[in-house]
Chains A and B, each alone.
Chain A
Amino acid sequence: MNRRTKLAGPLLAAALLAAGCTGSGGTSKGADAKAPVDADKVSGTITVLTHRTDLVQDGTMKKYAAEFNKTYPKVKVEFDALTDYEGEVKIRMNTENYGDVLMIPAVIKKNDYPKFFASLGTQAERSEKYHFTDFTTVDGKVYGQSPMGALPGFIYNKRVWKEAGITEWPTTPAQFIDGLKAIKAKTDAIPYYTNFKDMWPLTNWTYVDGAVSCDTRATTRLAEGDPWAEGEDLRVGDTLLYDIVRGGLIEKDPTTTNWEGSKPELAKGDIATMWLGSWAITQFRAAAEQAGSNPDDVGFMPFPAQQDGKFCATMSPDYNQAVNINSDHKDAARAWIDWFTDKSGYADDNLTLSPVKGAPLPEVLKPYEDADVKIIELDDAKGGAVKEIDNQSEVGIYKPDYRQDLVDLARGARKGSLDDFLGDLGERWEEARKSSGS
């Protein structure tokens, strides 16, 4: 016994010592990544961390880099593609070594941006040219820029919807349900596919926010009240999801769904509808080509709600690119971000919205133009506060869990009523909101 305690002492001490060494990284604060004036003078090797493993593998990113080198010949761009982007970058950000350019991970709190990233300029100046600046603005300074924007909406198979006799976009949730019912009755397709097992597709339902009320202050309203109060956007969206599942309009066994497998199925018309976003259109078209069906069958429609006779769609950013505050080549990194946003054609290549103000809609969104869908950009001034409440309350509007519970509730695998369920969410939200004092 004595011998054992003798050994335990130094062991514990060593453990504590080692633990002490692993504290979190630097606390440098405030730096600017200024846009270089003379392109020929910018030099250095920069590493770009990206979640687009597919584009790095098929060489697309290399092509962008080669194009970039035409303007900035002395900058060498290297890519580091991470499969589990969020998870890996989060851990790397405990050190100073997280690339020169990176996508801001969702887990970083907005107020911490100045500690991790170099500023790209003031909001007043950048917002004249770019969309989405307020998503990364802290104290009037912008810290990131999304290279593309997307609209949430339903990806649907036009042929199947037509076969069911529906040619006009439904304008109310009730009409939408009727449409799904008609598909169930008249075709063999699964009317709606939840992607329950893969979880993240369910989180897209949060982006209903703003599309129902057509209010640019929708995010602010989340921070200022109960998102599941009668008539609020999230309640309308969640009720629609509940009714779809309740009506038996989904796949037979949601617990074993398969995202990759669902793409060709929708393209071929085995699945009629999924709530995703405009960013998914390319993927489904590619799947259609691979499966040998017509890519033009893949359609995109807005949330079934209208204000003043017009549909509404909210424009939201993808990952925002930012410059590491510890980077040695901030000017080169800044040059890459500016070039990638303005000149790379990345947004066009992905059939998404350009972040540059006044740019035309991509060709896939032609139907939106024809139907005169109102495209709005949400004010994200309270975005940080909403995330804070979301984490504090453990509701998780940006996480899949509560929607999974909602689907379970609707298909009877969980006891309770919809009102109680949403009421409980609202209660937890309100409690966290009041304690965080926003």
Chain B
Amino acid sequence: MTDTTEKVARPNVAASAVRKAKAPRKVRLWRGLTPWLFLAAPLVLLITFTYAPVANMVAYSFTDWDGVSPELSYTGAENYVELFTRPELFEVFFVSGYYLAASVVQIIAALYFATILSFNVRFRNFFKGVLFFPYLINGVAIGFVFLYFFQDGGTLDSVLSLFGVDSDRAWLGTPVSANVSLAGVSVWRYMGLNFVLFLGAIQSIPGELYEAAELDGANRWQQFRHIIAPGIRPVLSLTVILSVSGSLAAFEVPFIMTGGATGTETFVIQTVKLAFQFNKTGLASAAAVVLLLIILAVTWVQRRLVPDDKVDLV
């Protein structure tokens, strides 16, 4: 595939270079403009739906807007000062610890399944589907499904009782149990995505390498250790970044299932409550900006600690 495109592409490049020198001004202008015309649609969408709202949010974070009032006044850095002088607003990050721990489990499990299914296993496509399926379900639906799952006498309890375990506990009843349960749901939900990323990376490793390794007498663990692991490092580090920012910004599942009750409030839930319950849109915008900065900082530190080297397997 790559071969053919290159063959076609090369003479073209040469030809256009020759023509370029001779082309009249108007044609040159058009040629310069063409890529921008193609880019216009995505750029307009990107600006309208991503950058403009972010710019708006940053602007609101310097005001005392309540979300509806036609009047808003500029308050300078007051919101940020309030944010940083109220340590209890940052205590909710302890909850992110549960999700962080869960994402370790999630990455290991995803890696395990991706490795196994990259070898020739019976029904591998079926299992791939099974593992990826949860990621396709809408987060709100997942929230409701798992609400029934954890209910007293719900799915989890009845499955456990099939195995003779009579757990008479409220899964969402105490902060620890509730957070572990919610983190479990998020593992179930996002493992599929990690799995697919890993699987893609693993399959892009040339097959000859395994063959050669097998000939040299390497077993499956050694193949993983010396071929797969280094081969998927960039994807692995990307996944770790996504997991860290995901656990800092956990929202959907806890918001729908518990609404932040019983010590399951995350930073984003808290921000939503500030904005939409207490009508402190300005303060909430500031909190969102701070969360963005925290995630950027964490990513930066991580890239510093584990630089993204170019992988060269051969």
Contact = CB atoms under 8 A, between A and B. Distances in A.
Interface of A: 11-12, 14-16, 18-19, 22, 24-27, 87, 90, 93-94, 105, 107-109, 112, 115, 196-197, 199, 252-256, 390-392, 394, 396, 399-401, 404-405, 408, 411, 413-414
Contacts of A107: 66-68, 279
Task: Sort A-B residue pairs by CB-CB distance and give the 4 closest, nearest first.
Answer: A15-B51, A18-B52, A255-B172, A253-B152
A81 to B, nearest CB: 21
A253 B151 CA distance: 8
Given A15-B54, A15-B55, A408-B261, A396 B278 contact: yes
Nearest to B174: A413
Contact of A253 (B54, B55, B173): B173
Given A19-B56, A255-B170, A391 B280 contact: yes
Contacts of B125: none
Nearest to A393: B278
Contacts of B151: 253, 256
A12 B51 CA distance: 8
B279 A391 contact: yes
B154 interface: yes
A256 B149 CA distance: 10
Contacts of A22: 52, 56
Given A14-B47, A15-B55, A109-B66, A87 B175 contact: no
Nearest to B52: A18
B72 interface: yes
Contact of A413 (B55, B56, B59, B175): B175
B263 interface: yes
B181 to A, nearest CB: 10
B71 interface: yes
B90 to A, nearest CB: 15
B192 to A, nearest CB: 26
19 contacts: A12-B55, A15-B47, A15-B51, A16-B55, A19-B55, A19-B56, A19-B59, A25-B70, A26-B70, A107-B68, A107-B279, A108-B68, A109-B69, A197-B258, A253-B172, A256-B154, A394-B278, A413-B175, A413-B263
A109 B260 CA distance: 26
B152 A11 contact: no
B48 interface: yes
A107 B172 CA distance: 30
